[in-house]
Amino acid sequence: MKTSITALTLAIAAFALPAYATTHKEAPNMAAGASAPKTMSAQNTKMADCNKEAGDKKGDERKAFMKTCLSAKKTTQQDKMKTCNKEAGDKKGDERKAFMKTCLSA
């Protein structure tokens, strides 16, 4: 009886350890106690995009570009609609429709 319980325990351990190992992997090269990498925040994404756009700019030119790029507010579709509506003014019918189409696609 003791032998069969020992054999059963070893069999369970043999199947449980590989299952545990595959579901509890640590990230490669991760220091002990370090947390998993997080997704990029909106500011980090914006910084990456601006860096790509900056290209080969150097020194003061790059600083000025990055400052402008990072502080620029992205125009939403709703903001575009408000601006185009104001610019359309008193236009009516097909004239207004044509104007709004070109304004919103710009």
Q: What's the whole-number average pLDDT of the chain?
A: 78
Cα diameter, the chain = 95
Of 6 and 87, which is predicted with more confidence? Answer: 87
pLDDT of residue 60: 94
Q: Give the CA distances from residue 73 to residues 27, 37, 85, 101, in Å, rounded to whole numbers and listed in that order.
A: 36, 27, 20, 23
pLDDT of residue 58: 92
| Cα(100)–Cα(92) distance, integer angstroms | 11
Q: What is the pLDDT of residues 56-106, one digit of tens each?
A: 999 999 999 998 888 877 778 888 888 899 999 899 999 999 999 988 887
Confidence of residue 45 (pLDDT cuts 50, 70, 90): confident
